[in-house]
Amino acid sequence: MKKLLMVAYHFPPLAGSSGVQRTLRFAQHLPEFGWQPMVLTASTRAYERCSPDLDREVPASCIVRRAFALDTSRQLSVGGRYIAAMARPDRWVSWKFGAIREGLRMIEEFKPDLIWSTYPIATAHLIGAELARRSGLPWVADFRDPMAQQGYPSDPKTWLHFSAIEQSAMQQARLNVFASPGAARLYRNRYPAAAARITSIENGYDESSFAAVKLPAISRLNKDAFTLLHSGIVYPNERDPGALFIALGRLKQAGHLKQGQFKLRFRAAIHEQLLRDLAISNNVQDLIEILPPTAYQQALQEMLQADALLLMQGAGCNQQTPAKVYEYMRCAKPILGLTDREGDTGALLHRSGIYSIARLDSPEEIERLLPDFIDQVCATTAELPDQCIVQSASRRSRTEALALQLNALTG
């Protein structure tokens, strides 16, 4: 069996990020396809929030080593202030030094065939690149999403760090992987010399996690109220819900949405104050539920119990697809997509047979779409995701695709 050294910040028991799922599920399924995973990750003290609920999902055969790391903003600041250079390319750059030492020890001890590192913690690619340089092993850079973009990161010096890291990967890595087709196309155009070494492997859902969910006898979230659920982080820019709240206010005023008959539930939104302020300014507090993060299995159960699921993705992220959409699709529930039809997220929904789509920044489109969508769901005539597309999006299928790429790199 071949061996893969996986450099990933996001790994159990870190909680609060769906990014954990990509590395965890690859590690879980790789042995089935002839690869033994070993994970180099960060010490748990660097994690802002931990939860044991996914610990049991880590395969017993998976070697996990943790290197010293701190979160600059939380653990190296004085009076809430810190030296900016200590947070470039990200707040966990301190992880790099211990991880390179530990990674070299792992390479000496276990003799891996390949090194794989994964963004969105940019420091992981610094570690992967240095381990590949010192060991001579092939390196796979798993970008997931684009790094240096127009206006992101907003700090010019951090942007330069991001740009340098992606340039290094395009020159040095044997394969550069993105989580959406649009991101892969973007980087083939940006780095034509590396185009043959750029591919996409999308995120997915874990079937075993869904199989373990046990639904209660009363499966609806609210017995008498239609419940539309948004599960996951609401980013103020990339998933700005402002237009949605304006539409809700108009629909309430017109009598189309009434207290006790409709609820929009936000689970683990993180930016909760933003939602509260929007609810107050649009006079829809009685239509909104804001709930804290919960364990992964409970989050899946909640999705399965919702009347419908809400997906938000701004046009500025057209080359990205929220990982949550694949779990939504597996739930076989109606999906309301507030996104750009021309982006990767809109294209995936459309390809899956979901046509209830409005632009996230258009109150008018949302106002027109939402009442009809609710009526269709209540009449059981709303579109459901195509099951052939859903089955192809399992984490096992994604891991098989990764293994084929790894096999090609190692002959």
* pLDDT tens, position by position, 379-394: 999 999 999 999 999 9
Looking at residue 310, its pLDDT comes to: 98
Band (pLDDT 50/70/90 cuts) for residue 161 is very high
pLDDT tens column, 195-205? 999 999 999 99
The helix or strand, by DSSP H or E, that contains position 184, with its residue range, turns out to be helix 181-190
Mean pLDDT of 209-217: 86
pLDDT tens column, 244-261? 999 999 999 999 999 999
Amino acid identity for residue 38 in this structure: M
Residue 78 has pLDDT above 90, yes or no: no
d(CA 218, CA 216): 5
CATH 3.40.50.2000 fits 209-392, yes or no: yes
d(CA 198, CA 192): 10
Looking at residue 216, its pLDDT comes to: 78
- Residue ranges matching CATH 3.40.50.2000 in the chain: 2-204+395-410, 209-392
Looking at residue 387, its pLDDT comes to: 93
Of 81 and 126, the one with more pLDDT: 126
d(CA 267, CA 149): 29
Q: Does residue 282 sit in helix, strand or coil?
A: coil
DSSP string for residues in 333-358 = --EEEEE-TTSHHHHHHHHTT---EE
Residue 210 has pLDDT above 70, yes or no: yes
d(CA 375, CA 391): 28
Looking at residue 269, its pLDDT comes to: 96
pLDDT tens column, 40-64? 999 999 999 999 989 999 999 999 9
Band (pLDDT 50/70/90 cuts) for residue 322 is very high
Mean pLDDT of 311-340: 96
Mean pLDDT of 312-325: 94
Looking at residue 393, its pLDDT comes to: 96
d(CA 402, CA 200): 10
pLDDT tens column, 277-307? 999 999 999 999 999 999 999 999 999 999 9
pLDDT tens column, 342-369? 999 999 999 999 999 999 999 999 999 9
Q: What percent of the chain has pLDDT over 90?
A: 92
Band (pLDDT 50/70/90 cuts) for residue 323 is very high
pTM equals 0.91
Query: Do residues 303 and 328 make contact, with C-beta atoms less than 8 angstroms apart?
Result: yes
Of 366 and 220, the one with more pLDDT: 366
Looking at residue 273, its pLDDT comes to: 97
Residue 218 has pLDDT above 80, yes or no: no
139-144 sheet: strands from edge to edge: 63-67, 35-42, 2-7, 114-118, 139-144, 175-178, 198-200
d(CA 247, CA 165): 41
Band (pLDDT 50/70/90 cuts) for residue 217 is low
Mean pLDDT of 132-156: 96
CATH of 2-204+395-410, one of 1.25.60.10, 3.30.479.30, 3.90.1300.10, 3.40.50.2000: 3.40.50.2000
Is the omega angle on the peptide bond into residue 334 within 30 degrees of 0, that is, cis? no
Residue 188 has pLDDT above 70, yes or no: yes
Looking at residue 222, its pLDDT comes to: 83
Band (pLDDT 50/70/90 cuts) for residue 18 is confident
